[in-house]
Chain A
């Protein structure tokens, strides 16, 4: 079984929103129709997005840390949003585990968005259907694209490579290795949704310098207990020589 997913490294993300804009650009120009906006240049711009980057501050000044937190549909393995859909418009693909909405079947009842604990689904106020991240299903299988570009638009756009994409069921994939070796975790594990997307935690790079490393314990000078020089009582060469 395949379960495609994103792994997002919070240690690397700089909160540039490049993934947000490239996601919107790719998906609003796609065959499924535009993702509508209201007042894009006005006072209260609002619109449909699949991906959002939020910012959190952890700790108390001066020991604070800023965390940029990209959030999109996590393509849960036990997706609670799927069984509640009355029309079957929301479904999870057997073949690759992507959770999708069939825009031609959706009646816009919004029930699925109530049943997603992460708020990953957004209702398109103009098309009147429910929308969410598709993992760029129209990119990743497109054989017209070079192999290296068959990735979600956000992954392509990320300047810091904070976003990894792959099959989390394949233990040797880049994403599985990253989750395994760098402490990848799931959001809100308390609801048993089993999100396929994982996050890599902030990791501190700390340099541990022991005293031994500053003052060599095996310093040969110390070993022989030879002092550099004793107190000077007799005249030295410096006293009698004029330079």
Chain B
């Protein structure tokens, strides 16, 4: 497939926003159970939600660039019964709403205690909103990934690994951002977030590598024989019915050499996994904000490469019909 910048930015940006929100909520739940020290409501959870929301909005903005008729985008909520894209269109604003409400509750201090258990655990109302928000975040990861995983003849995508990768890669970048953010806003949580960011990044490395290995071993079900229905081992296309190219040659081909794809793979392997882990460790050791910021920026740039390859690697069966001009 031809990787579209708008979709690359959409999926990576909302991934960061979603992961950041999960990080905030995890922090607050641990604090509620007194595993972690409680944090300043507005300075940490409030401001953190604002950052998460910014990423979500930026992702939404870039998605509009993908549409031929963005002014009709509201129509896309109609077919949620059958279309994962429609489901994503519904859940994304829902996530934004939860993040917004969660942030506002912390900023304004509208956070009544709704239950306590013998002074150990304190349930704040914001915790409930955060739990619902996290549920929405997981649903959004599922919807985004299923848009791709649901197309069964795009065999590179049609696999549970697609969902797992979207979930882990998004969460990893969110936790890395949370680590950098906590340096200033909540130094007590620096190690907590940093450790989780590394663990999730390692997990994502394992599952993304698994999908890369799977892709190299794929056996494609469609062949030129099944595409035109002629049983012969020797079939060569002589013309495709258009000399100057068509939508079919623009949308489904990345137009790059195999070497290029290989190098993108190694670039993202270093930028998404190896380098951020090193930077996170170094940043935590030296307590250096610049290094932690670099960890996030490097990982995000790496994710852009990762997403590019995710699209480019998918081989659409229609390409069989477009082998020769």
Interface residues of A (CB under 8 A from B): 17, 20, 39, 42-49, 52-60, 66-67, 69, 71, 80, 83-89, 105-111, 113-119, 121-123, 125, 127-129, 185-191, 199, 201-202
Candidates A17, A48, A85, A185; contact of B83 at CB < 8 Å: A85
Would you call B85 and A86 a contact (CB within 8 A)? yes
Would you call A188 and B70 a contact (CB within 8 A)? no
- Which of B115-123, B161-169, B317-325 forms part of the interface with chain A? B317-325
Residues from chain A with Cβ under 8 Å of B67 in the complex: 107-109
Would you call A86 and B83 a contact (CB within 8 A)? yes
Candidates B151, B251, B321; contact of A118 at CB < 8 Å: B321
Would you call B82 and A83 a contact (CB within 8 A)? yes
Interface residues of B (CB under 8 A from A): 1, 66-70, 72-73, 75-79, 82-86, 89, 147, 150-154, 221-222, 224, 226-230, 232, 234-248, 251-252, 316-319, 321-322
Would you call A107 and B226 a contact (CB within 8 A)? no
Give the Cβ gap from B236 to chain A, nearest Cβ, in Å.
5
Q: Chain A binding site: helix, strand, loop or mixed by DSSP?
A: loop
Q: In the bound complex, how far is the Cα of B230 from the Cα of A201, in angstroms?
A: 8
Would you mind naming 8 contact pairs between A and B with Cβ atoms under 8 Å apart?
A44-B245, A45-B244, A56-B235, A60-B234, A84-B82, A115-B151, A187-B226, A201-B229
Please list the 9 inter-chain residue pairs (A to B) with the smallest Cβ-Cβ separation, ordered nearest first.
Answer: A108-B68, A119-B318, A128-B68, A52-B241, A44-B244, A86-B86, A83-B82, A86-B76, A87-B75
Would you call B321 and A119 a contact (CB within 8 A)? yes
Q: In the bound complex, how far is the Cα of B227 from the Cα of A186, in angstroms?
A: 9
Candidates A43, A57, A67, A188; contact of B244 at CB < 8 Å: A43
Candidates B66, B245, B246, B316; contact of A114 at CB < 8 Å: B316
Would you call B241 and A119 a contact (CB within 8 A)? no
Residues from chain B with Cβ under 8 Å of A111 in the complex: 83, 85, 147
Q: In the bound complex, how far is the Cα of B252 from the Cα of A53, in angstroms?
A: 19
Q: In the bound complex, how far is the Cα of B153 from the Cα of A116, in angstroms?
A: 9
Candidates B73, B77, B234, B316; contact of A58 at CB < 8 Å: B234
